[in-house]
Every structure is written in C-alpha cells, then in structure tokens.
Amino acid sequence: DAGITQSPRHKVTETGTPVTLRCHQTENHRYMYWYRQDPGHGLRLIHYSYGVKDTDKGEVSDGYSVSRSKTEDFLLTLESATSSQTSVYFCATASAGNYEQYFGPGTRLTVT
C-alpha cells in the first residue's frame, strides 16, 4: 500500500474558524486529490494537484483552497468553516501512467 497519512484524524471546530487538513505521502506520486464523503453523495472531488504548485478545482471547490509546496504534502484549507463542511475528508494519490488511486485513512471534521 502507498504510504499516505492524514492529519488530524478527527477534528471538531466552530463555525467561522479556519481549518487546515494535511495529507502526506511517501510514494513520490505526482498526483494528489482531496475528496469529501457524505451520505447519499459518494465521494466528490474538491481539488486536485498534478504537480508541485499545480492545482485545479474539482466539482465541489467552493469554500476550500489547497496548496502543494512539495511533492509529499497536499494541504486543504477551509478559510471559514461552515456546518455544511461537516464531512469525512479523504486524500488520495496516483502516479503517472497508473490509473489507480491510493487513499488515506480519512479525517472526520465536525463544524459546530
């Protein structure tokens, strides 16, 4: 399995506060992705990265920003958390030429 860790694994925060989730990989994969998982919606792509400093929006990017300053780390930031952002967040990675994505263990975020 690809070495993918996410931190924190659980977080409770208040509406209006900023939150940053971290994804760290040890596989030197070029591509990284952030998803959210909600009942009835499956997994939806928030943002993704196709290289250091190269990022793009997914289907549910409003209210989120990302940064990737080095290959191994991909940060997801909620500038001002809202209750609608309560979800489980998954990071995934992929290497060029290999269609498979490898997933981290997830972060459960609760916004009160």
Partner 1 sequence: GDSVTQMEGPVTLSEEAFLTINCTYTATGYPSLFWYVQYPGEGLQLLLKATKADDKGSNKGFEATYRKETTSFHLEKGSVQVSDSAVYFCALSEGGGSNYKLTFGKGTLLTVNP
What does DSSP assign to residue 79? S
DSSP secondary structure code for residue 1 in this structure: -
Contact between 103 and partner 1 (CB under 8 A)?
yes
Amino acid at position 83, single letter: S
Distance CA 32, CA 90 (A): 11
Q: Give the x/- contact pattern for partner 1 in 42-81, rule: CB under 8 A.
A: xxxx--x-x-----x-x-----------------------
DSSP state at residue 103: E
In whole angstroms, how close is the CB of 27 to partner 1 at the nearest point? 14
What is the binding site for partner 1 (CB under 8 A)? Answer: 31, 33, 40-45, 48, 50, 56, 58, 90, 92, 94, 96-106
